Structure 1
Amino acid sequence: MIQPIKLPFYAKISCILISLISFAYIFCIAKDIITPVLMAFLFAVLLLPVFTFLKTKFKFPRHLAAISCVLIFAACIVGILVFISYEVTDMANDFDTIKKNANTFITDIHKFIKDNFHVSIGEQKKYLDNVTKDSVQNGKATIGSAIVSISDLLLDCTIIPIYTFLFLLYKDHFILFLAKLIDKENHGILKDILSQIKVSINNYIVSLIIEMIVVSVLTSLGLWIIGVKYFILLGLITGILNVIPYIGILIAGIITVLASLTGSAETSIILGILIVNIIVQLIDNNLIVPLIINSKVEINAFVSIIGIIIGGASAGISGMFLAIPLLAISKIIFDRIESLEAWGYVMGNHMPKRFTWRIRKVKAEN
């Protein structure tokens, strides 16, 4: 039997850092390949109960069950997109009204700046013209980047369903591959890790869907109360974009403000929209996320924020979306491997009971 090599602490830390840097470098240079695979893996895990149900209850063959799962998932996504496109088309009919109200709103802002900051309208327009010229100079590069982004999105929309189908189809094949990689005495740990990963990802994605629905309903209700047109569409867009950490709600707020110009250019409506977004975010951050999201994924806020920032820097919005599930998977693996248990502990969000007891003991002695 081969004895494990015992390394000193500094050597272990060095190996861990080198491994992390290597993984990060590989992910950055191959993100266009790895990101769709990881997205498909998450969707496959989400659809796994449906796949098992079709295969056991209705006796579907594996191929038919996998195709049915992908088609059901695609139908849900297409249904949402069709509804949004229909509402956006209806909103486009009010383009002249939006343009008129936008001009009125901009004029009011110019007057407000002139009255309170003593900057003439001519100077303001001159400054805006200079900014516009600088933007036009970089316009070709921006358009080129946008075209590349759209083409990448279309490619991902095509290849992610294919990857999802293959993950479902070869599920047992991949599990057997993992079993062949490790010793038989560790198969129990592998089974526990895979089952926990399945539960964790399912809970996280279902929690995100619940959060999206609740935010959409609350935002739609708030916009309806203040009299914003297309409140259902704007609430749905806010709920969907809220899945993107930090920047999603800002984009949703800008879209909502622009859409509110279909009705009027009153400042009170825009202030009402800002108040509705702030209230919904307070409810989301202080009630929905702690009760629904954090209770399903035991990752502390510090590690979550760092992971989201790193994910966004390396793979954009997709990286931000994948950050929490990947951290959850990493924690599950770390918690079940003795040499990595400390790293799983530092990612958790629970206070140590022994440390709390020591604090109380010191207080009692004083």
Structure 2
Amino acid sequence: MNRNIELNKLSLNLATSLLAIILVVFILWATQTVVIPLLFSIILAVMVFPIARLMERIGMNRIFSTVLSLLFAILIFAGLSYLIVMQVIDISKDAATITVKLEKLFNEGLRWVTSTFHISQNELSDKALKELESAMSTISKFAMNFFSSFGSVLTSGILVPIFAFFFLYYRDFFKTFFFKAFKSSPREKIEETLEKMYSALQNYMVGQITVMSIVAILNTIGLYFIGVQYAWFFGVLASLLMILPYVGIAIGSIFPAIFALATMDSPYYALGIVGWFQFVQFLEGNFITPNIVGSKVSLNPMVSMLTIILGGMLFGFAGFILALPIAAILKVVFDSIPQLESFGYLLGDPEIENKKLAQEEKSSTTEDKLEDDESQDQQSD
């Protein structure tokens, strides 16, 4: 009888948890117009908070320190965007020459395929045209959706710094809210959890920016020695595409490879570019990111990929960017709640989590041994 009651309780708790998760996901999806800029504003506030705090320590008013730190971040973003746009304009001046060269390469490739695989050129051309029409239809739909949502994108661009300002200016107010919301928990525990959440998000973002900068330098060096024009532009562009984890650098190699095919006299330059970018991706995945980001934020690679996919399904392109920072925060929250500690373990890197467990077991064994020694000393006395 007791066993049936326990099973019923377990089933009820599981059903309640699943229902709560589904409800939360639905609310996030339904309110994403507000949720997305809110999440980006939290990231922006965390990134500029050290600057604002430094200004306050030297005697500046909180309003001015908050505004100036946000303006500093906006100027950096605007400057980088301006440089990229100007490079795109310069490259577009040679668009006619590039198009002619690509068309010539396409015709040569078409002739090679027809002669090698004995396929009719007309048949192959018809298939290529059908695929091109399908691709153009998809691209046109994407462009229409983008321009139709341009207003919401512009609105988000305005809301993000506004929300970030309120998060920075009223940070003490929001901290007090957490103290009141979790009165049953010790104040020190809440402060420790909030500090860990802040550190996890800041370490992840700073680590990612550092990795992207190193990758941009490596990309640029490789493209420069290969002899590609606009080396820094393509190198930085590929590093910025790292906001799409695991595939960003590979996608970024396509653009300079196509440009090399159109502007250089041998296809081996394009192969060299793809090879170099793959080498950089190998370094990034096995040495750069694990030593810079992995040492600060330990996330399970498999769960991270799943989180990215789910984030994309929920929020679209913004979800790809927000998935891992949110996962880093959730890990801290799960680790701080005993009932959810198992989920925090699941999100963590297996090697790091197993080391933590080994240390905890070792410390507990040492404590037990000390207690036994003390009890034996008391008995001997």
- Structure 2 counterpart of 1:22: 23
Give 1:165-180 correspondences, 5 Å limit. 165-180=165-180
The Cα shift of 1:207 comes to 0.5
- Please, which runs of 5 or more residues in structure 2 have no aligned partner? 1-5, 360-381
C-alpha contact 1:105 1:266 (8 A) present in aligned 2: no
The Cα shift of 1:124 comes to 2.0
- Structure 1 counterpart of 2:102: 102
- What amino acid is the match of 1:33? V
- Structure 2 counterpart of 1:332: 332
The Cα shift of 1:340 comes to 1.6
Change (3 A) 1:329 1:134: closer
| Structure 1 range deviating more: 254-263 or 268-277 | 254-263
Number of residues of Structure 1 aligned to a counterpart in Structure 2 = 351
C-alpha contact 2:56 2:62 (8 A) present in aligned 1: yes
- Structure 2 counterpart of 1:362: none
- What amino acid is the match of 2:109? I
- Structure 2 counterpart of 1:88: 88
For CA contacts below 8 A with separation 6 or more, give which structure has more relative contact order: 1
> 1:44-90 CA deviation, whole Å, 9 max, x = no partner?
01111111111111x22221111101100001111111111222222
- Structure 2 counterpart of 1:363: none
| Structure 1 range deviating more: 302-311 or 96-105 | 96-105
- What amino acid is the match of 2:206? V
- What amino acid is the match of 1:46? M
- What amino acid is the match of 2:101? N
> 1:169-217 CA deviation, whole Å, 9 max, x = no partner?
1111111111111216521111001111111111101101111111111
**Matches of 1:142 and 1:319, distance apart in 2:** 17
DSSP 3-state at the match of 2:15:
helix
Change (3 A) 1:113 1:150: farther
C-alpha contact 2:250 2:278 (8 A) present in aligned 1: no
C-alpha contact 1:244 1:317 (8 A) present in aligned 2: no
Give 1:246-265 correspondences, 5 Å limit. 246-261=246-261, 263-264=263-264
> 1:126-155 CA deviation, whole Å, 9 max, x = no partner?
222233444566676444212124333322
Give 1:95-244 correspondences, 5 Å limit. 95-134=95-134, 141-183=141-183, 185-244=185-244
Q: Percent identity?
A: 26
- Structure 2 counterpart of 1:49: 50
**Matches of 2:186 and 2:330, distance apart in 1:** 18
- Please, which runs of 5 or more residues in structure 1 have no aligned partner? 1-5, 358-366
**Matches of 2:276 and 2:173, distance apart in 1:** 49
C-alpha contact 1:98 1:258 (8 A) present in aligned 2: no
Change (3 A) 1:317 1:250: farther
| Structure 1 range deviating more: 281-290 or 244-253 | 244-253
Change (3 A) 1:346 1:138: closer
C-alpha contact 2:102 2:262 (8 A) present in aligned 1: no
DSSP 3-state at the match of 2:119:
coil
**Matches of 1:356 and 1:142, distance apart in 2:** 50
- What amino acid is the match of 1:21? I
The Cα shift of 1:255 comes to 2.1
Change (3 A) 1:354 1:228: closer
Q: TM-score, normalised by structure 1?
A: 0.89
DSSP 3-state at the match of 1:202:
helix
Q: TM-score, normalised by structure 2?
A: 0.86
- What amino acid is the match of 2:13? K
**Matches of 1:264 and 1:56, distance apart in 2:** 55
RMSD (Å), alpha carbons: 2.3
C-alpha contact 2:87 2:233 (8 A) present in aligned 1: yes
